[in-house]
Structure 1
Amino acid sequence: MDLQQRINAFVKLGDFLSQFNTEGIHKKDNIPHNDLFFEGFKHQIKLAHEHNGWFKRENILFALNGWSNQLTSNNINQWLSKYKFNQENPKTIAIIMAGNIPLVGFHDFLSVLISGHHVLVKQSSNDKHLLPFLAKYLEHVMPEFKSRIRFTENKLEHFDAVIATGSDNTARYFEYYFKDKPSIIRRNRNSIAVLTGHETEDELKALAEDIFRYYGLGCRNVSKLYVPKNYNFDTFFKAMYDWHPIIHENKYANNYDYNKAVYLMSEFDMLENGFLMLKEDESFSSPIATVFYEHYNSLEELKEILKQKEDLIQCIVSNGFIDDEVKFGQTQSPNLWNYADGIDTISFALTMC
């Protein structure tokens, strides 16, 4: 199985996923193996939501739509064009996946297989329904994948390298446990937005997507704002309003009520609008239904501060602040070449050949 065959298989997977998006689920003609997989995947989406209340159907479909948009021949070829592939010595790369948002480990899965390696997947118990089904689809599209994809719920064994994602605490365990293996170990990171007070209404409404999508559980969700002195939050709160129905979802509302009670009892100063709280805090990782904020004196000074903290930041949302900024509303729509933590997983996989 050469590189082009692997690319073609993932393009067909993208075509299959194009039937599942936030506008609805619609069966298309000319999708390979659709009679075998279409209804089954609808059921897996239902099971994923029933198993994990944070995996709202709309959010699952949003994730699937994102992957469908990325898994095109043009995108994949653009992504891979700078690499030199060598398929003479495939290895087994283990992946320990997080489970905070739907299919959060898919990029690692894709990177390992597209590089020509075998993959051994240990999933989070929070997200265990979607990926195995999609792996079966890949195996039907390209039977050679059958010998290259394994899932396990047990101790990882018989692998050559590992990609592991978890919290800061689990990362310390991973580093010790996998000290004798080539590895990528990911820790907690959060995303921020830098506001100047000159943002348009459309930009701030787009920022709401960065904050609320997946209930703020992803590392690419904006969990902190940097704002100038005397920033007026009225316009910000007005732009957030379209997301107010989120407070009627029980898991989110319970977190909102709990965190609000904690802040009130602790006599913390905060701003809130009935479904989102803003709290001045130096930390990056804010609780659900809360966004932290901090004032800055100048943008140049802020650049220096954030450079010192870059290991804690996944991405920065802004307009004209830095070269590699993310546009408002785009944090949850990364391209294939936007690597988590800035670590190139394709280069890592190719060093194993």
Structure 2
Amino acid sequence: MKKFTASLLWLSILIIPGNSQKLSGLFDQVKSSVVVIHVLSKQNTGTGDPYQQTAVGGLGSGVLVTEDGYVLTAAHVVNDAAEIMVEFIDGQEIPARVERLANQADVALIKLQQAPVNPNVAKIGESDSVKVGDQVFIIGAPMGLSYSLTSGIISARHNMHKMTNSFVEAEFFQTDASINTGNSGGPVFNMQGEVIAIASAILSRSGGFEGIGFAATTEIARTLLVKKQSYWWGFTPVYLNDELAWIFNLPQEAGILVEGVTDKSPAYFAGLKGGYIKLQIGEEEFLAGGDIILAVEDIPVTTEENISKIQEYVMELPAKTRFNVTILRKGRVQNLQWFK
């Protein structure tokens, strides 16, 4: 028994340093491709004044994916950002803007206003080949602690099509690698130093990490942001259906409440109005009083299928094309001309 225990001890001594050294080397190899994203959003105070706003700072992570300055991150990090500043490990700070964004999969592409000096572009791996049990590591800025590394395994793969039979396109890895505030948008690397996912969210009862984190796969990011070029609308949506549609007295089965509008976004230039009255219905808390989108062209926003059709329709429109958006504003149905 003692001999067996001693053998296990020697085995652990031989194995652990090797893994540690490999992870350390990989970190040094890829860390300069990782960025910290500082955002500034303007939010209504919710006190009933549509013009009373407050500035709110935020923090996330991302990864450089092209030499000319495209950065892959999480949609919720930048969707509401009036200002975006991207910080590199060598101290470079470069402003950026949102180019493409897919809320349903929580992925976004932002573009730096200028190319970084001496860029280290991350290699994008094939997330389809990743298996449950594979080792991974995440680099990000949890709680503002820039370039922190956590490691773990892929615990599961979740495909929203298969789970819900819905028209939502989303695919996530589940991982036990620690994800906390500030990690969002950070790259999940495999043990070859390739990005296979983007850190998105956690499942928690306490509010802190409890071993269940989620990351959007690079395949869904490639499909939505590169192949389909998902459109960034520039507002915060709240879907109203069933009882909420009845409470808001909608003239149809469902609609999309505009909770907030991002400065200098397509929604901003179209004249869309956000909410200004803090409201709680059951467990739902949001800003009401803003516009409610009823349809885009002739497609009503009454089902997930129709919302998917709207996304496809807008994505296929040529740049600088105008299209019609039907809204409910202060009880009256109106039309807005939207400029893509």
TM-score, structure 2 normalization? 0.26
Structure number with the higher strand fraction is: 2
Higher normalized contact order (CA 8 Å, seq sep 6+, divided by chain length): 1
Report the structure number with the largest CA radius of gyration: 2
Structure number with the higher helix fraction is: 1
TM-score, structure 1 normalization? 0.25
